Structure 1
Amino acid sequence: MAVDQPTHRVDAESLVAATDTGARSPEGWQRWLIPGIALVWAFFQLYVASPVPFIVARLSGLPLVLNNTEIRIVHLAFALVLAAFAYPLFKSASRHKIPWYDWILAALGATACLYLFVFKNQIADRAGLPTDWDLIMSTVGMIVLGVAVFRSLGLPLLIVASVFVLYVFFGDADWIPGTLQWKGASYGKAMWHYWMQTEGVFGVALGVSATMIFLFVMFGAILEKAGAGNFFIKIAFALLGHLRGGPAKAAVVASAMSGLYSGSSIANTVTTGTFTIPLMKKTGFPPEKAGAVEVASSTNGQLTPPVMGAAAFLISEFTGTPYTELIKNAVLPALISYIALVYIVHLEALKLGLAGMKRPPSHMRLMTRLMGFLGGFLGLAVLAGVVYYGLGWVRDVFPGMGLWAASLIFAVAYLILLWIAAQRPDLEVDDPNAPLQELPRAGEVALTGLYYLLPIVILIWCIMIERLSPGLSAFYATIAMIAIALTQHPLKALFRGTGNLGFEAMRGVHEWLAGMIAGSRNMIAIAVATGAAGVIVGTISLTGAHQVIGEFVEFVSGGNLMVMLILVAIMSLILGMGLPTTANYIVVSSLMAPVIVTLGAQQGLIVPLVAVHLFVFYFGILADDTPPVGLAAFAAAAISGGDPIKTGIQGFTYDIRTALLPFLFLFNTQLLLIGVGPLEAVVQFIVAVVAMLLFAAATQRYFLTPTRWWEVVALLLISFTLFRPGFWLDQVQAPYDVSPGTQVEQVATSLPADARLRMTIEGTDFNNPDERITKTFMVPLGAPGPGADRLDQAGLTLFPDGDRMTLDEPFPGTPFFRLAQELDFYADEPVVVESVATPAERMPREIFYLPAVLLLVVVVWSQRRRQTVPAF
């Protein structure tokens, strides 16, 4: 079969190189150039993230501390140089030599960036008044950035960014429809906006890339090079390989664990897929389905906290959501999605009549195994308790010494776990094309690599307990990972009393340096992408282009909320094609998130901003396995020998469950754990998992046995009811008690402390004076008191005007000042409060679970009568 030919794996790895790290490998003296620059870049990022610059500056008095803007400049300079050297500009360009024009492009890119660094004081003195040299350097920088985007990311992002740049210059042209026009900008104003300040290329996105994303990507790269990737694959197969369709289930779990630190679904696909896809085929999966399972699980890895394909930090920055809160918001949908994918794989195995791999013989009785299984869970629970409460106790007892005490605990735990691992042979990277052998014992595999989890524990401890910034947390976790990479081999040799300590030490140095270099090469496309995405964000801030897109979506949807959301989902899917995760998120969030916020509010959909951004992010990520682009599907097909288009289509059918989740958490924010307690979170998780499994069974047309059409309809109805019982409750009882706008002060007076008042206002459209539009928003009320005072404290000033209540223009800096950019408060007709609403007293929505459960009993009874194969 085609999969057994090594060339397919080579093709897949070449695809990763072309899209993630650069396909050029120079020879001769140049072979040291790209790794050398990449290594310097990695050391620079470690330096600026560490406390070292502050310590040295304090001791020496030298200005060695770089501010955020300066770090962004140097960050992009490295990326542009490496993009020129590592990514061939043309298909015919040499892969083994850097041509002369790439040297010129690298020099021009670095010069255009460092010009901002060297002349920063003079540029600050002439803010908004560019000189000729300013314009020349800005033009050169923009051109080199565009070339870097083309060579490292392909045409899609370059086309999108170019359209936005052209819109800035030609937005007032006669050939552009009137609804899309804007006043236009001069060349000097546009170039200053894009390159000379922090509104464009060197904006928030590049800042997050330079201060947070790089460290997490480098941490993951060192973790992978040190052997953690192979450990995660082995432990997944040891635990799940014996089950029906075991290799596919292990592929899902291995990809989920790799997704914890991976910044690319394509790299995730190849890293785990090289091993899992051939084994899936050997156990009976067709090539396209084997590839699709890996694609779906690797794509979902980009949605899994804490890294989320390096987009988590951008989402936190753009929405103003604390990083720790964002992790809480994102964890439940990711878990539900992965559990459902494991179940889909199980259903596929049932349909294909597959068995699991052979497990090692065991002489333990069933009760002994069960006690060991439960003991493992108890051990994990004890370990989790020690980490959370133990390290928290250290922080409380030794204030100011928590980091040093935790470092000592880490070192002791590392030595103990490494000594345990040294008593066993090291894990070998298996050949996936070798004959199927017996599965390894899960316990033995776990003991060989538990110490790989320590840096992850440190990362979580720094973020959750010490409340350090994500960047500083990643720095300490990376330092811990470097320590492990450097010492694991010589210490194992020392514990075993065998081997050459010098050789093992050099092996550790090699793995560390390889991880640093790999991390930098993985960052080239991300840094370039965030710079290019800054062009899009800068255009939107300069022109208000998102309002134009909102008007288009509103026109096509005809004001229907669900049609609007479906259009936004489809447009996010299209915009995300061919883009890496970070650029993907920036593009879809900049263009599509404001559409949901604006149009949704007009139609009464008011949800936290983080829910909106996760909605568009989910659909942007699904582009990785959606034909015709679907780069992850092409990578998987290169390994499986299957058809890439069929692999992508099959992968998307598996990911329908993922596409359902954004619609559900947009209408049921409890799925994001917003406003729920611990017990309610557990209940919500259980109900959501059951609902998603039933949805997966319906879409796969198999539950306990192949389903009939009415059973599919019933399962979908049950799933919808479990996910959103509030829909049925809304049909029976109105969700809000609505009062006329004239009673807004009385209603505000009657509400308890910290209540939220739902207010709908009507006013003249700021951008279209001939139209009156409505806006609905939530007003947070503070301490009890007179309604007028509570509303005034919230930033809203109201005036009675006959039989209506009018709203004055909100002051700058208040929470609702954005209304001044959407409504004309000085039009002939004032802005009036149309109505106010408060949550109504209603029956519990969970009461609708009862008919859903009864219908499920009917489906199970019908299926059991026809069932011929055990369900598990």
Structure 2
Amino acid sequence: MSDNPKGEGRQFSDEELQDLVASTDSGARAPTNPNLAKLIAGLALAWSLFQLWIAQPQLWFAQYVPVLNSSETRPIHLTFAIVLAFLAYPAFKSSPRGHIPVVDWILALGGGFCAFYIFLFSDHLAMTARSGLPTPTQVVIGAAGLLILLEASRRALGPALTIVGSLFLLYAYMGTGWLIPELIEHEGLSFTALINAQWLDTAGVFGIPLGVSTAFVFLFVLFGSLLDKAGAGNYFIKLAFAGLGHLRGGPAKAAVVGSAMTGLISGSSIANVVTTGTFTIPLMKRVGFSNEQAGSVEVASSVNGQIMPPVMGAAAFLMVEFIGISYIEVIKHAFIPAVISYIALVYIVHLEALKKDMPALGESKSFLGMIVKFFIGFAIAGAGFTALIYLVGALRAGLGDLTGVVMMALLGLVYLGLLSVAARRPDLEEDDPNDPNIKLPTVGEVYATGLHYVLPILVLVWFLMVERQSPAKSAFYATSLMLFIIVTQRPLKALFRGLGGEVASEMKNGFTDLRDGLIAGARNMIGIGVATAAAGIIVATVTKTPIGTELAGLVEQLSGGILIVMLILVGLFSLILGMGLPTTANYIVVSSLMASVVVSLGAQEGLIVPLIAAHLFVFYFGIMADVTPPVGLASFAAAAVSGGDPIRTGFTAFFYSLRTVALPFLFIFNPTLILYGVDLGTTAGILQAVFVFVTATFAMLLFAAATQGYFLARSRIYESAALLLVAFTLFVPNVWLDMVQSPFREVPPAQFEQTLGELDEGTRIRLRVEGPDFNTGETAETTLVMNAEGATAQERIDNSGLMLFPEGDTVRLDEPMFGTATAEKLSDFDFYADDPVRLAEVQVPQDRLPAQIFYIPALLLLGLVILLQRHRQTKPAF
């Protein structure tokens, strides 16, 4: 980037940074012909309006306009995405940006037609292709559509997804070859069958990933775009700086918190880095952070925005579809890891400030005092939200169907009240971080200027968590309120300020903001729409070929059946794939191939790994790919802002993100960390969740101190090792307990039915099954996890799908009930061979000591480290 001998990169201008974001997120082409620019903007605007329409069809005009089903909306969604991809993204860096070449017009129209054809002839396709009888014309259109989609993916996302998708297509078509391992060989699909499965059917390109993009993701991206256009992004950054900027290393702490808040409104790591980083990175450098450290803090905090509930990346919505759980369950499981990850990053920044004895910007304030204030504010907000729930319950009891109208009226009054308070203060301006006389605002000056931005977020959380509505409907209601706010906030502020003559012009500005927000939201969706469609190629290949089932055997061979080695392999696989794939596509590929492998190998090692834990594991490593060199796009963006070396920035950011790398391993071995099995509907469950949160936070802070080499003073190697040991014990005390007491006791297979009837309902037991492999005839084995569901032993056996035939001391298994999970897990066994498939081992949980007993030696060891470091401590730890 530069000839600087120190290896520092060139610091980009604001225009270059915006171009960097545009070329990655929304397309770098900016036609000089105003009519072409209006065409692209008009298509983007039409896409946003179409998505708003299909999100809530039960409106007053629904009786006049036909309601579209998912198989009709997905092709239209992809039509917009493909056409805009070719109009907005140049073919190469050297391609013209001021006009659209003829080839791009041909590809845009051709790709748009191939996608729109699926909508236009959906009835005809149901009678032909989807019944297994595609016509030659349909095959040609499907083949052209696939090729154009892969090219659109290359333009919008880089070559990685195009290459991966092409390899999966070749594998599905060829089946065998010198590059294809024998384990995953198959006969190969005919060209017609391949195109039918990938383009003409509803399980390939137009399958679940594109359906999630159509139904959920677009609305959340649009919601964030409108929030940002309204001014919420600047408000959140100012609020973070007002609260934390006065602390030692305050700009970095504010960057972390500001990025956590702006993560609500931006699903893009790169946009988040550039948006918050242009302000935070110069200020971090001013108080003593190096170029690379300043960029790394911004990268680590911005990338983590994708794991922060309630608005997570597109992968969270895919989890809903892939696992079959509600979005509220995904939020529940993701909450504690995300929050403690951010708390730990704030602490890492604090430790860096202590190590370098960094000054505060302005008058220094107490970090511990700020933490206490935060928890007080959090408690007050929680109490207020709880009171609101009871208030709405009382209104429903008294007013019945009128409750909705009354709540809308109250929401409107609250909005007017908050806006009138905001109008008494000047609007927030964006500060120049390079101004030598910068004055940090106070919380009192900032918080009241944008409280009305919290209302749509509150509406989103309310409908998701209290009303238990679908993500699509919740986002629709929140976005609808956001549409109202963006149009009305300017003219209403003018009225409250007594500037009646400016109301008309401010109303016009409000509609301009609305239009720009709708256009920006659609342009930010181009890459996601194309990515989810192209990722459907991988999903269809996994379902149509043996790669999904046989890859488990390959990974098991490579890992030697050792779960921790297999997890490391899966993590590396995610990182390597993610070096060129966006998070969403990376998650789709790796979860399709690996999530079930993690669960099955965990069961064989005696671990009951929930499917959500396996999916979150893959998701966490997927987002790390934005950080990791040599292709960590977020690290390159941060280096462009800071002027630092991008590779060193990436490695430093990865080091700061070690806590995010460690967390997936921890909740695989201790699913309680993701609140799995914790019932938040009971007092005991809430208390357990609070205990888990406090313990995990404390452990994560110790982990951060160990990896940073600083606690109360600079740590010696053995002190860092001791802190790591304490943190590990607090996170997963059950690992030590398993070494002392086995979690299971063995029961003879002949006594299985009797023992099963004596267990409490819901108890999980492990069954090891042995028998001849269907393909090789050799003896194979697998481990099943069975839930004791039912009143009697026979009911529980029937519910599991098992067919058991006791024969003396052995228990023979027949082919399980068709359609059950057990039938799928035992599908590789030959139940008709001479040697029977049998129940080899039964393990049931046994009473043990509480795992928390290992906290005692861990805390004693921590006390020893504290005593050792107290003698060397020269400055307060907080």
Q: Specify the TM-score bucket, using the shorter chain as the normaliser.
A: over 0.9
Aligned twin of 1:439: 440
Is the alpha carbon distance of 1:763 and 1:470 closer, same or farther for their aligned partners in structure 2, counting shifts above 3 Å?
Answer: same
CA distance in 1, matches of 2:140, 2:610: 43
Aligned twin of 1:870: 876
Within 5 Å, which residues of 2 pair with 1:445-484?
Answer: 445-484=446-485
CA distance in 2, matches of 1:214, 1:175: 39
Where does structure 1 differ by over 6 angstroms across 4 or more consecutive aligned residues? 1-6, 369-375
Kindly state the Cα deviation for residue 357 of structure 1 after the two structures are TM-superposed: 1.2
Kindly state the Cα deviation for residue 175 of structure 1 after the two structures are TM-superposed: 5.9
8 Å CA contact retained: 1:360, 1:441:
no
CA distance in 2, matches of 1:750, 1:601: 23
Aligned twin of 2:748: 740
Deviates more, 1:84-93 or 1:798-807: 798-807
> What is the one-letter code of the residue matched to 2:226?
I
Q: What is the aligned counterpart of 2:788 among 781, 793, 796? A: 781
8 Å CA contact retained: 1:574, 1:620:
no
CA distance in 1, matches of 2:742, 2:147: 57
Aligned twin of 2:585: 583
CA distance in 1, matches of 2:180, 2:780: 25
Gaps of 5+ in 1: none
Q: Deviations over 1:567-602 (max 9, x none)?
A: 111111111112222212112211221321233333
Q: Deviations over 1:495-554 (max 9, x none)?
A: 010261111111111111111111100100000000010000000000021234322222
Within 5 Å, which residues of 2 pair with 1:140-155?
Answer: 140-155=144-159
Aligned twin of 2:619: 617
SS in 1 for 2:450: helix
SS in 2 for 1:129: coil
Kindly state the Cα deviation for residue 12 of structure 1 after the two structures are TM-superposed: 2.9
8 Å CA contact retained: 2:78, 2:529:
yes
8 Å CA contact retained: 2:17, 2:641:
yes
Is 1:11 matched up with 2:16?
A: yes
Aligned twin of 2:306: 302
Kindly state the Cα deviation for residue 703 of structure 1 after the two structures are TM-superposed: 0.8
CA distance in 1, matches of 2:636, 2:294: 13
Q: Deviations over 1:154-213 (max 9, x none)?
A: 111111111100001111336644223111010000100000111100000100100110
Aligned twin of 1:20: 25
Is the alpha carbon distance of 1:643 and 1:419 closer, same or farther for their aligned partners in structure 2, counting shifts above 3 Å?
Answer: same
Is the alpha carbon distance of 1:371 and 1:783 closer, same or farther for their aligned partners in structure 2, counting shifts above 3 Å?
Answer: closer
Kindly state the Cα deviation for residue 379 of structure 1 after the two structures are TM-superposed: 4.4
% same residue: 53
Q: What is the aligned counterpart of 2:79 among 72, 77, 80? A: 77
CA distance in 2, matches of 1:547, 1:817: 14
> What is the one-letter code of the residue matched to 2:357?
G
Q: What is the aligned counterpart of 2:698 among 682, 686, 690? A: 690
8 Å CA contact retained: 1:795, 1:811:
yes
SS in 1 for 2:288: coil
> What is the one-letter code of the residue matched to 2:254?
A
SS in 2 for 1:592: helix
Within 5 Å, which residues of 2 pair with 1:781-820?
Answer: 781-785=788-792, 787-820=793-826
Is the alpha carbon distance of 1:527 and 1:396 closer, same or farther for their aligned partners in structure 2, counting shifts above 3 Å?
Answer: farther
Aligned twin of 1:769: 776
Aligned twin of 1:318: 322
CA distance in 1, matches of 2:435, 2:587: 40
Aligned twin of 1:635: 637
Aligned twin of 2:293: 289
> What is the one-letter code of the residue matched to 1:831?
V
Is the alpha carbon distance of 1:94 and 1:679 closer, same or farther for their aligned partners in structure 2, counting shifts above 3 Å?
Answer: same
> What is the one-letter code of the residue matched to 1:763?
G
Q: Deviations over 1:657-715 (max 9, x none)?
A: 11100010001011011122110111111111111111111111111111111101111
Is the alpha carbon distance of 1:360 and 1:227 closer, same or farther for their aligned partners in structure 2, counting shifts above 3 Å?
Answer: farther
Kindly state the Cα deviation for residue 854 of structure 1 after the two structures are TM-superposed: 0.5
Q: Deviations over 1:722-769 (max 9, x none)?
A: 111111111111111111222210110111233332222122333x32
Deviates more, 1:41-50 or 1:775-784: 775-784
Kindly state the Cα deviation for residue 777 of structure 1 after the two structures are TM-superposed: 2.4
CA distance in 2, matches of 1:592, 1:794: 24
Within 5 Å, which residues of 2 pair with 1:30-41?
Answer: 30-41=36-47
Kindly state the Cα deviation for residue 311 of structure 1 after the two structures are TM-superposed: 1.8
CA distance in 2, matches of 1:313, 1:729: 36
8 Å CA contact retained: 2:337, 2:674:
yes
CA distance in 2, matches of 1:6, 1:402: 55
Q: Deviations over 1:472-515 (max 9, x none)?
A: 11011000001000000100000010261111111111111111
Is 1:158 matched up with 2:166?
A: no
CA distance in 2, matches of 1:754, 1:699: 40
Deviates more, 1:200-209 or 1:266-275: 266-275
SS in 1 for 2:407: helix
CA distance in 1, matches of 2:520, 2:371: 42
Is the alpha carbon distance of 1:345 and 1:360 closer, same or farther for their aligned partners in structure 2, counting shifts above 3 Å?
Answer: closer
Gaps of 5+ in 2: 679-684
Q: Deviations over 1:76-97 (max 9, x none)?
A: 0000000000000122211111
- TM-score computed with the length of structure 2 as normaliser: 0.95
Q: What is the aligned counterpart of 1:199 among 203, 206, 221? A: 203
Deviates more, 1:200-209 or 1:833-842: 833-842
Count of paired positions = 862
CA distance in 2, matches of 1:839, 1:731: 15
Aligned twin of 1:838: 844
8 Å CA contact retained: 2:789, 2:796:
yes
8 Å CA contact retained: 1:264, 1:581:
no
CA distance in 1, matches of 2:692, 2:530: 40
Deviates more, 1:240-249 or 1:796-805: 796-805
8 Å CA contact retained: 1:264, 1:580:
no
> What is the one-letter code of the residue matched to 2:703?
F
Deviates more, 1:640-649 or 1:24-33: 24-33
CA distance in 2, matches of 1:285, 1:521: 35
Kindly state the Cα deviation for residue 276 of structure 1 after the two structures are TM-superposed: 0.7
> What is the one-letter code of the residue matched to 1:740?
P
CA distance in 2, matches of 1:771, 1:572: 32
> What is the one-letter code of the residue matched to 1:858?
L
Q: How much is the aligned-residue C-alpha RMSD, in angstroms?
A: 2.2
CA distance in 2, matches of 1:821, 1:9: 58
Aligned twin of 1:389: 390
> What is the one-letter code of the residue matched to 1:281?
K
CA distance in 1, matches of 2:373, 2:638: 37
Within 5 Å, which residues of 2 pair with 1:376-415?
Answer: 376=377, 379-415=380-416
SS in 1 for 2:876: coil
Aligned twin of 2:681: none
Q: What is the aligned counterpart of 1:710 among 718, 730, 734? A: 718
> What is the one-letter code of the residue matched to 1:67?
N
Q: Deviations over 1:93-146 (max 9, x none)?
A: 111111111111111011111211222212111221111110111011001101
8 Å CA contact retained: 2:598, 2:609:
no
Within 5 Å, which residues of 2 pair with 1:309-708?
Answer: 309-359=313-363, 376=377, 379-498=380-499, 500-676=502-678, 677-708=685-716
Kindly state the Cα deviation for residue 774 of structure 1 after the two structures are TM-superposed: 2.2
- TM-score computed with the length of structure 1 as normaliser: 0.96
CA distance in 1, matches of 2:395, 2:283: 46
> What is the one-letter code of the residue matched to 1:320?
G
> What is the one-letter code of the residue matched to 1:314?
L
Is the alpha carbon distance of 1:371 and 1:860 closer, same or farther for their aligned partners in structure 2, counting shifts above 3 Å?
Answer: closer
Aligned twin of 2:727: 719
Q: What is the aligned counterpart of 1:186 among 190, 210, 231? A: 190
8 Å CA contact retained: 2:632, 2:650:
yes
Kindly state the Cα deviation for residue 370 of structure 1 after the two structures are TM-superposed: 12
SS in 1 for 2:637: helix
SS in 2 for 1:624: coil
CA distance in 2, matches of 1:491, 1:153: 41
> What is the one-letter code of the residue matched to 1:772?
T
